Protein backbone atom coordinates (compact mmCIF):
# COMPACT_ATOMS: atom_id res chain seq x y z
CA UNK A 1 0.00 0.00 0.00
CA UNK A 2 1.22 3.49 -0.80
CA UNK A 3 2.48 5.77 1.94
CA UNK A 4 -0.21 8.45 2.09
CA UNK A 5 0.29 12.10 3.00
CA UNK A 6 -2.92 14.14 3.25
CA UNK A 7 -3.26 17.90 3.57
CA UNK A 8 -5.93 19.64 5.61
CA UNK A 9 -6.49 23.15 6.90
CA UNK A 10 -8.81 26.09 6.71
CA UNK A 11 -9.44 27.90 3.44
CA UNK A 12 -6.56 29.63 1.73
CA UNK A 13 -3.85 28.59 4.18
CA UNK A 14 -1.70 26.97 1.51
CA UNK A 15 -2.84 23.32 1.41
CA UNK A 16 -2.59 23.05 -2.37
CA UNK A 17 0.75 24.84 -2.52
CA UNK A 18 2.15 22.59 0.22
CA UNK A 19 0.71 19.51 -1.51
CA UNK A 20 2.42 20.40 -4.80
CA UNK A 21 5.69 21.17 -3.01
CA UNK A 22 5.36 17.84 -1.17
CA UNK A 23 5.04 15.98 -4.48
CA UNK A 24 8.20 17.68 -5.73
CA UNK A 25 10.00 17.14 -2.42
CA UNK A 26 9.17 13.42 -2.48
CA UNK A 27 10.56 13.06 -5.98
CA UNK A 28 13.72 15.00 -5.15
CA UNK A 29 14.23 12.87 -2.05
CA UNK A 30 14.11 9.75 -4.20
CA UNK A 31 10.48 8.58 -4.21
CA UNK A 32 10.08 6.36 -7.25
CA UNK A 33 6.39 6.92 -7.92
CA UNK A 34 4.00 9.55 -6.61
CA UNK A 35 0.26 9.81 -7.18
CA UNK A 36 -1.20 13.24 -6.47
CA UNK A 37 -4.92 13.14 -5.65
CA UNK A 38 -6.94 16.33 -5.86
CA UNK A 39 -9.86 15.72 -3.50
CA UNK A 40 -10.99 19.35 -3.56
CA UNK A 41 -14.08 19.78 -5.78
CA UNK A 42 -12.77 23.25 -6.54
CA UNK A 43 -9.72 21.65 -8.09
CA UNK A 44 -6.49 23.64 -8.31
CA UNK A 45 -3.79 21.06 -7.62
CA UNK A 46 -3.25 20.50 -11.34
CA UNK A 47 -2.42 24.20 -11.73
CA UNK A 48 0.01 24.08 -8.83
CA UNK A 49 1.60 21.04 -10.47
CA UNK A 50 1.52 22.63 -13.92
CA UNK A 51 -0.60 20.03 -15.76
CA UNK A 52 -4.07 19.86 -17.30
CA UNK A 53 -6.86 17.49 -16.31
CA UNK A 54 -9.14 16.05 -18.97
CA UNK A 55 -11.75 14.35 -16.82
CA UNK A 56 -12.41 14.01 -13.10
CA UNK A 57 -13.66 11.02 -11.12
CA UNK A 58 -16.89 12.97 -10.45
CA UNK A 59 -17.54 13.22 -14.18
CA UNK A 60 -16.75 9.54 -14.70
CA UNK A 61 -19.17 8.61 -11.90
CA UNK A 62 -21.88 10.83 -13.29
CA UNK A 63 -21.56 9.13 -16.65
CA UNK A 64 -21.77 5.73 -14.98
CA UNK A 65 -24.84 6.66 -12.94
CA UNK A 66 -26.58 8.19 -15.96
CA UNK A 67 -25.71 5.42 -18.36
CA UNK A 68 -28.08 2.56 -19.07
CA UNK A 69 -27.87 -0.45 -16.76
CA UNK A 70 -25.57 -2.42 -18.97
CA UNK A 71 -21.92 -1.52 -19.18
CA UNK A 72 -20.06 -2.34 -22.42
CA UNK A 73 -19.55 -6.02 -23.06
CA UNK A 74 -21.27 -6.99 -19.82
CA UNK A 75 -18.38 -5.44 -17.87
CA UNK A 76 -19.16 -5.03 -14.17
CA UNK A 77 -19.59 -1.45 -12.92
CA UNK A 78 -16.53 -1.90 -10.74
CA UNK A 79 -14.38 -2.92 -13.69
CA UNK A 80 -15.88 -0.14 -15.84
CA UNK A 81 -15.13 2.45 -13.20
CA UNK A 82 -11.62 1.18 -12.60
CA UNK A 83 -10.88 1.21 -16.31
CA UNK A 84 -12.03 4.80 -16.67
CA UNK A 85 -10.29 6.04 -13.56
CA UNK A 86 -7.03 4.56 -14.83
CA UNK A 87 -7.63 6.05 -18.25
CA UNK A 88 -7.99 9.58 -16.92
CA UNK A 89 -5.01 9.59 -14.60
CA UNK A 90 -2.78 12.44 -15.82
CA UNK A 91 0.72 11.15 -16.43
CA UNK A 92 3.65 13.48 -16.00
CA UNK A 93 7.27 12.30 -15.98
CA UNK A 94 7.51 13.32 -12.30
CA UNK A 95 4.11 12.21 -10.94
CA UNK A 96 0.61 11.03 -11.82
CA UNK A 97 -2.48 13.03 -10.91
CA UNK A 98 -6.06 11.99 -10.25
CA UNK A 99 -8.66 14.70 -9.88
CA UNK A 100 -11.74 13.72 -7.85
CA UNK A 101 -13.95 16.56 -9.13
CA UNK A 102 -17.35 17.41 -7.75
CA UNK A 103 -19.25 14.94 -5.63
CA UNK A 104 -22.37 13.48 -7.18
CA UNK A 105 -25.64 15.43 -6.98
CA UNK A 106 -28.17 15.28 -4.17
CA UNK A 107 -29.30 11.91 -2.90
CA UNK A 108 -27.58 8.91 -1.48
CA UNK A 109 -24.63 7.81 -3.48
CA UNK A 110 -23.08 5.54 -0.92
CA UNK A 111 -22.73 2.95 -3.64
CA UNK A 112 -20.82 5.34 -5.90
CA UNK A 113 -18.74 6.66 -3.02
CA UNK A 114 -17.77 3.18 -1.91
CA UNK A 115 -16.93 2.25 -5.45
CA UNK A 116 -14.76 5.33 -5.88
CA UNK A 117 -12.99 4.60 -2.63
CA UNK A 118 -12.16 1.07 -3.60
CA UNK A 119 -11.02 2.13 -7.09
CA UNK A 120 -8.78 4.86 -5.66
CA UNK A 121 -7.45 2.41 -3.07
CA UNK A 122 -6.67 -0.06 -5.86
CA UNK A 123 -4.99 2.61 -7.95
CA UNK A 124 -2.95 3.82 -4.95
CA UNK A 125 -1.47 0.37 -4.53
CA UNK A 126 0.65 0.88 -7.66
CA UNK A 127 2.45 3.91 -6.21
CA UNK A 128 5.05 4.33 -3.50
CA UNK A 129 3.48 7.61 -2.28
CA UNK A 130 0.10 9.29 -2.49
CA UNK A 131 -0.27 13.00 -1.76
CA UNK A 132 -3.86 14.05 -1.22
CA UNK A 133 -4.95 17.68 -1.35
CA UNK A 134 -8.28 18.36 0.34
CA UNK A 135 -10.86 21.08 0.51
CA UNK A 136 -11.07 23.12 3.71
CA UNK A 137 -12.68 20.80 6.29
CA UNK A 138 -12.19 17.08 6.38
CA UNK A 139 -15.43 15.37 5.43
CA UNK A 140 -14.14 14.58 1.97
CA UNK A 141 -11.20 12.72 3.35
CA UNK A 142 -13.49 10.25 5.02
CA UNK A 143 -16.25 10.04 2.44
CA UNK A 144 -14.78 9.55 -0.97
CA UNK A 145 -11.15 8.80 -0.56
CA UNK A 146 -9.13 6.40 1.47
CA UNK A 147 -9.88 6.42 5.20
CA UNK A 148 -6.41 5.95 6.49
CA UNK A 149 -3.44 8.24 6.06
CA UNK A 150 0.13 7.80 7.21
CA UNK A 151 0.72 11.50 7.68
CA UNK A 152 -1.82 14.30 8.05
CA UNK A 153 -0.34 17.75 7.51
CA UNK A 154 -2.59 20.44 8.95
CA UNK A 155 -1.71 23.77 7.37
CA UNK A 156 -2.32 27.03 9.21
CA UNK A 157 -1.52 30.68 8.68
CA UNK A 158 0.59 32.34 11.36
CA UNK A 159 -2.39 33.47 13.47
CA UNK A 160 -3.83 32.37 16.80
CA UNK A 161 -7.17 31.68 15.18
CA UNK A 162 -5.45 29.63 12.50
CA UNK A 163 -3.71 27.43 15.04
CA UNK A 164 -6.95 26.92 17.00
CA UNK A 165 -8.75 25.93 13.79
CA UNK A 166 -5.95 23.47 13.07
CA UNK A 167 -6.49 21.96 16.50
CA UNK A 168 -10.24 21.61 15.83
CA UNK A 169 -9.56 19.97 12.48
CA UNK A 170 -7.29 17.50 14.19
CA UNK A 171 -10.08 16.66 16.65
CA UNK A 172 -12.57 16.38 13.79
CA UNK A 173 -10.29 13.89 12.04
CA UNK A 174 -10.55 11.69 15.14
CA UNK A 175 -14.33 12.09 15.33
CA UNK A 176 -14.58 11.01 11.70
CA UNK A 177 -12.65 7.88 12.58
CA UNK A 178 -9.84 8.54 10.13
CA UNK A 179 -6.85 6.37 10.92
CA UNK A 180 -3.84 8.68 11.13
CA UNK A 181 -0.27 7.47 11.54
CA UNK A 182 1.26 10.84 12.42
CA UNK A 183 -0.15 14.33 12.36
CA UNK A 184 1.71 17.59 12.18
CA UNK A 185 1.05 21.29 12.09
CA UNK A 186 2.61 23.31 9.28
CA UNK A 187 2.60 27.09 9.57
CA UNK A 188 2.67 28.63 6.12
CA UNK A 189 3.43 32.13 4.87
CA UNK A 190 5.18 33.05 8.06
CA UNK A 191 8.29 35.02 8.85
CA UNK A 192 11.08 32.74 10.09
CA UNK A 193 10.78 33.68 13.78
CA UNK A 194 7.31 33.01 15.11
CA UNK A 195 5.69 35.39 17.59
CA UNK A 196 5.96 34.04 21.17
CA UNK A 197 2.14 34.19 21.48
CA UNK A 198 1.86 31.92 18.46
CA UNK A 199 4.41 29.50 19.88
CA UNK A 200 2.36 29.32 23.08
CA UNK A 201 -0.78 28.62 21.04
CA UNK A 202 1.03 25.84 19.20
CA UNK A 203 2.10 24.32 22.50
CA UNK A 204 -1.45 24.51 23.86
CA UNK A 205 -2.86 22.92 20.70
CA UNK A 206 -0.98 19.72 21.42
CA UNK A 207 -0.04 19.53 17.74
CA UNK A 208 3.53 18.87 16.79
CA UNK A 209 4.96 21.69 14.67
CA UNK A 210 6.70 20.08 11.70
CA UNK A 211 7.85 23.28 10.09
CA UNK A 212 7.35 26.90 9.24
CA UNK A 213 7.15 27.70 5.53
CA UNK A 214 8.13 31.25 4.64
CA UNK A 215 6.34 33.56 2.26
CA UNK A 216 8.11 32.87 -1.00
CA UNK A 217 7.97 35.44 -3.78
CA UNK A 218 8.93 32.82 -6.35
CA UNK A 219 5.55 31.12 -5.79
CA UNK A 220 3.69 34.23 -6.97
CA UNK A 221 6.09 34.59 -9.90
CA UNK A 222 5.34 30.98 -10.96
CA UNK A 223 1.63 31.51 -10.53
CA UNK A 224 1.57 34.68 -12.62
CA UNK A 225 3.61 33.00 -15.35
CA UNK A 226 1.05 30.16 -15.45
CA UNK A 227 3.73 27.69 -14.38
CA UNK A 228 3.57 24.87 -11.88
CA UNK A 229 5.72 24.57 -8.78
CA UNK A 230 8.06 22.08 -10.46
CA UNK A 231 9.36 25.22 -12.23
CA UNK A 232 10.14 26.89 -8.91
CA UNK A 233 13.92 27.55 -8.67
CA UNK A 234 15.65 24.87 -6.59
CA UNK A 235 16.80 27.44 -4.06
CA UNK A 236 13.29 28.73 -3.34
CA UNK A 237 12.87 29.05 0.44
CA UNK A 238 9.42 27.39 0.55
CA UNK A 239 10.62 24.36 -1.42
CA UNK A 240 13.68 23.97 0.78
CA UNK A 241 11.54 24.06 3.93
CA UNK A 242 8.97 21.58 2.62
CA UNK A 243 11.78 19.25 1.58
CA UNK A 244 13.24 19.44 5.10
CA UNK A 245 9.80 18.73 6.56
CA UNK A 246 9.17 15.70 4.35
CA UNK A 247 12.65 14.42 5.03
CA UNK A 248 11.99 14.65 8.76
CA UNK A 249 8.46 13.23 8.70
CA UNK A 250 8.65 10.31 6.28
CA UNK A 251 10.28 7.31 7.94
CA UNK A 252 11.80 6.05 4.69
CA UNK A 253 13.92 9.21 4.39
CA UNK A 254 14.96 9.57 7.97
CA UNK A 255 18.15 7.57 7.60
CA UNK A 256 18.94 8.92 4.16
CA UNK A 257 20.86 12.12 3.60
CA UNK A 258 19.27 14.78 1.38
N1 LIG B 1 4.54 30.06 1.19
C2 LIG B 1 3.89 30.82 0.30
N3 LIG B 1 4.48 31.92 -0.22
C4 LIG B 1 3.85 32.69 -1.12
N5 LIG B 1 2.60 32.45 -1.57
C6 LIG B 1 1.95 31.37 -1.08
C7 LIG B 1 2.55 30.51 -0.13
N8 LIG B 1 1.65 29.53 0.17
C9 LIG B 1 0.56 29.78 -0.55
N10 LIG B 1 0.72 30.88 -1.32
C11 LIG B 1 -0.28 31.48 -2.21
O12 LIG B 1 -1.46 31.69 -1.44
C13 LIG B 1 -2.61 31.40 -2.19
C14 LIG B 1 -3.45 30.32 -1.49
O15 LIG B 1 -2.68 29.14 -1.45
P16 LIG B 1 -3.34 27.71 -1.72
O17 LIG B 1 -4.19 27.72 -2.93
O18 LIG B 1 -2.22 26.74 -1.67
O19 LIG B 1 -4.26 27.58 -0.43
P20 LIG B 1 -5.36 26.46 -0.10
O21 LIG B 1 -5.31 26.25 1.36
O22 LIG B 1 -5.15 25.30 -0.97
O23 LIG B 1 -6.70 27.24 -0.51
P24 LIG B 1 -8.18 26.60 -0.65
O25 LIG B 1 -8.70 26.44 0.74
O26 LIG B 1 -8.90 27.62 -1.44
O27 LIG B 1 -8.01 25.28 -1.37
C28 LIG B 1 -2.14 30.99 -3.57
O29 LIG B 1 -2.19 32.10 -4.43
C30 LIG B 1 -0.70 30.56 -3.34
O31 LIG B 1 0.10 30.75 -4.49
MG1 LIG C 1 -6.50 24.29 -2.21
Ligand showing the shortest atom-to-Cα distance for residue 229:
1
Q: How far is the CA of 75 from the centre of ligand 2 (A)?
A: 36
The reply to whether ligand 1 has any atom less than 6 angstroms from the CB of 16 is yes
CA of 238, closest atom in ligand 1: 1
- The finding on whether 140 has its CB within 6 A of some atom of ligand 1 is no
CB atoms < 10 A from the CB of 90, how many?
18
Provide the pLDDT confidence category of residue 226 given band limits of 50, 70 and 90: very high
Q: Is the CB of 40 under 6 A from ligand 1?
A: yes
CA separation for the pair 111, 253 (Å, rounded): 38
Which atom of ligand 1 is found nearest the CA of 9?
21
pLDDT one-digit tens code per residue, 7-60: 999 999 999 999 999 999 999 999 999 999 998 889 999 999 999 999 998 888
Taking the centre of ligand 2 as the mean of its atom positions, its distance from the CA of residue 42, in whole angstroms, is 8
pLDDT score at 84:
87
Distance 153 CA to ligand 2 centre (A): 13
Greatest CA span in the chain, whole angstroms?
A: 65
pLDDT at 258 over 60: no
Give residue 11 CA to ligand 1 midpoint distance, Å.
9
Ligand 2 mean position, distance from CA 135 (Å): 6
How sure is the predictor about 187, in pLDDT bands with cuts at 50, 70 and 90? very high
The whole-number average pLDDT for the span 124-136 is 93
Q: What pairs with residue 212 in β-bridges? A: 187
C-alpha closest to that of 174 among 207, 210, 202, 144: 207
Atom 12, ligand 1: which residue's CA is nearest?
14
pLDDT digits (tens, 9 = 90+) for 195-220: 999 999 999 999 999 999 999 999 99
Q: What percent of the chain has pLDDT over 90?
A: 65
pLDDT of 141 over the 70 cut:
no
Left if phi > 0, otherwise alpha if psi is -120 to 50, otherwise beta: which for 70? beta
Instruction: For the chain, list the domains and their CATH numbers.
Output: 3-248 (3.40.50.300)
Task: Please give the distance, rounded to the nearest whole angstrom, from the Cα atom of residue 31 to the centre of ligand 1.
Answer: 24
* Segments of the chain assigned E as strands: 3-9, 34-38, 90-91, 96-99, 129-133, 148-156, 179-190, 208-214
Question: CA 209 to CA 42: how far, in whole Å?
Answer: 28
**Atom 8 in ligand 1: which residue has the minimum CA distance?**
14
Residue in 10, 14, 188 to alter for ligand 1 test, most ligand atoms within 8 A of Cβ = 14
* pLDDT confidence band for 118 (50 / 70 / 90): confident
Helix (H) or strand (E) holding 120: helix 110-124
Sign of the alpha-carbon torsion through 177, 3, 258, 45: negative
Closest ligand 1 atom, CA of 13?
21
Q: For residues 96-119, give the mean pLDDT.
A: 75
Amino acid sequence: MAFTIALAGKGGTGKTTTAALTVRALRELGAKTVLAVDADPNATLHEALGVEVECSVGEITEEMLNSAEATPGGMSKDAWMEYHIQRYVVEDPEFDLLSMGRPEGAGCYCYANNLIRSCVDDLSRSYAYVVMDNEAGLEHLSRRTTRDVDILLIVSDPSLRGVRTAQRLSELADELGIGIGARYLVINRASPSLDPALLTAVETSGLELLGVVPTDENIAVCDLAGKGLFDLPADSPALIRVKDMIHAAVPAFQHAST
